[in-house]
Amino acid sequence: MISDVFCKIIKGDLPAEVIYKDDDFLVIKDINPQAPVHLLIIPKKHFDSLEDFMDPVRSRARDRVASPKDRGAATSNGMEERNLALLGKALVVSHKVSHQLGIAEKGYRLIINEGEYGGKLVPHLHIHLLGGKRLGPKLVK
């Protein structure tokens, strides 16, 4: 049973400031904002990480537990086509909320922290959207 903090928010078991939601994504304000606008774009379907998302073996295992009607077509590496489509949709959602919040014209930054060295804290794939001010030129210290 997967029960990371974002799964709990998606289920409604934990509160969050929701900026946008649809069938595939929830966008919430980060609880510890690093910029005037700091959102988290979270797929409702659970993936531990980008590594997990891209892994065809795990993707096939997820397919086996899905009911036949929920199973999608597989790509050449064994991933579900619609999982890949989620990546594209994440950018569409980012674009949508940046306009919704009026920060698109001046610009913003999208970040995925991956693994230990990437500084990932919550084991549920998500994208940070940061903006609302001129961000520093450095991505790393």
When binding is defined by CB under 6 A, the residue of 50, 122, 132, 135 that contacts ligand 5GP is 122
Determine if 5 is a binding residue for ligand 5GP (CB under 6 A).
yes
3-state secondary structure of 51: helix
When binding is defined by CB under 6 A, the residue of 1, 12, 23, 32 that contacts ligand 5GP is 32
For residues 53-72, which are near ligand 5GP according to CB under 6 A? none
What is the rounded CA–CA span in Å between residue 131 and residue 108? Answer: 4
Angle at CA of residue 3, ends 40 and 129, nearest 5°: 5
What is the rounded CA–CA span in Å between residue 36 and residue 87? Answer: 25
126 is known as an active-site residue = yes
The residue written with tokens 């014209």 in the block is 105
Beta-carbon count within 10 A of 89 CB:
17
Task: Please give the structure tokens belonging to residue 56.
Answer: 């065809």
User: What is the rounded radius of gyration, in angstroms, for the C-alpha atoms of the chain?
Assistant: 16
Determine if 19 is a binding residue for ligand 5GP (CB under 6 A).
no
Determine if 141 is a binding residue for ligand 5GP (CB under 6 A).
no
Task: Please give the structure tokens belonging to residue 67.
Answer: 């009911």
Determine if 91 is a binding residue for ligand 5GP (CB under 6 A).
no
Considering only the stretches 18-26, 43-51, 74-82, 113-121, report the one whose residues sit in contact with ligand 5GP under the rule CB under 6 A.
Answer: 113-121
Considering only the stretches 29-37, 70-78, 88-96, 129-137, report the one whose residues sit in contact with ligand 5GP under the rule CB under 6 A.
Answer: 29-37
Determine if 121 is a binding residue for ligand 5GP (CB under 6 A).
yes
Task: Please give the residue ranges that form the binding site for ligand 5GP (CB under 6 A).
Answer: 5, 16, 28-32, 40, 113, 119-122
